[in-house]
A and B are shown apart, each in its own frame.
Chain A
Amino acid sequence: AQSVTQLGSHVSVSEGALVLLRCNYSSSVPPYLFWYVQYPNQGLQLLLKYTSAATLVKGINDFEAEFKKSETSFHLTKPSAHMSDAAEYFCAVSATGGGNKLTFGTGTQLKVEL
C-alpha cells in the first residue's frame, strides 16, 4: 500500500523567492512519484515525475524535485517564484508494476505575493 503526506496545506512566498513544497511518501515497493499542478478551473497538469532513473527530476516551468529514498521524500522546488505559479500542487505515488492507481496527498495551495 502507498500513502503520501504533504506538509502544509497552504504555503505563501514572495515573488522571486524560493518555492519549497514538501512531500513524503510511504510505499512497500519501489515507487513512481509525481507532482501535479491544478490551476483554477482546470484539470491537473503533470509537472514532473520520478520513474527510477535520475533522482533529480526537472519539470516544466523551472520546477524540479529530488527523490531521496533514505528520507522517503520527493520535495518540489523552484528557485524563483512567479505570480503565475499560484495554484494547488499535488504529490502522488503509484506502485511499480502494480497497476496505475495514483495515491495523492491532500494538496498544497501556493500563494505568491508581490
Chain B
Amino acid sequence: EAGVTQFPSHSVIEKGQTVTLRCDPISGHDNLYWYRRVMGKEIKFLLHFVKESKQDESGMPNNRFLAERTGGTYSTLKVQPAELEDSGVYFCASSLIGTSGRNEQFFGPGTRLTVL
C-alpha cells in the first residue's frame, strides 16, 4: 500500500513568488493534515481537512496561504506571495475517518521550501 506522498521534495523560490505544494494521502483516508517545521523549532499544525471540508484551519499563518482538497482526494497548499519566514519543511499527514484524536496520522516525507 502506498504511503503519503508529497511533491515536490524540495522547492527553492524567490521572495514574492508563488509555490504550490501537493499531498496525496493514503487511499481511503478521509482526514488530511498539513504541518510545518521552521528550522530549529517544533512541528506546527496548519490545518485539517475531513474529506473536502476544512475542519480546523486555526494554524494557518495568514491569508497568503491557501489550502484546497477538491474532491476529497489530494490536497494542495499554495503560498502566494512567499516571504522569507515561510521557509521550512511542510509535512502532510492522513488518517482514517474519525476525529477522536486517537487515530494514527501517517506522514509524508515533507517538502523542504526555501525562500530566498
Binding site for B on A (CB under 8 A): 4, 32, 34, 36, 41-46, 49, 51, 90, 92, 94-107
**Cα A98 to Cα B55 with chains together (Å):** 11
Q: List 17 A-B contacts (CB under 8 A).
A: A42-B109, A43-B4, A44-B43, A44-B93, A49-B104, A96-B100, A96-B102, A99-B48, A100-B31, A100-B33, A100-B101, A100-B105, A102-B45, A103-B45, A104-B35, A104-B44, A106-B42
Question: Which one of B41, B55, B110 contacts A106 once the chains associate, using CB atoms below 8 Å?
Answer: B41
Residue of B at shortest CB range from A49? Answer: B104
**Cα A32 to Cα B100 with chains together (Å):** 10
Binding site for A on B (CB under 8 A): 3-4, 31, 33, 35, 41-45, 48, 55-56, 58-59, 91, 93, 95, 99-110
Chain A residues with CB under 8 A of B103: 100
**Cα A32 to Cα B99 with chains together (Å):** 12
**Cα A43 to Cα B95 with chains together (Å):** 14
A-B contact count (CB 8 A): 72
A8 to chain B, nearest CB (A): 14
**Given known A-B contacts A44-B91, A45-B107, A49-B104, A99 and B43 have beta carbons under 8 A apart:** no
Cβ A105 vs Cβ B42 within 8 A: yes
Residue of B at shortest CB range from A29? Answer: B101
Chain A residues with CB under 8 A of B33: 100-102
Question: Which one of B42, B44, B102, B107 contacts A107 once the chains associate, using CB atoms below 8 Å?
Answer: B42
**Cα A17 to Cα B95 with chains together (Å):** 35
**Given known A-B contacts A99-B56, A102-B35, A46 and B104 have beta carbons under 8 A apart:** yes
**Cα A34 to Cα B101 with chains together (Å):** 11
**Cα A103 to Cα B41 with chains together (Å):** 12
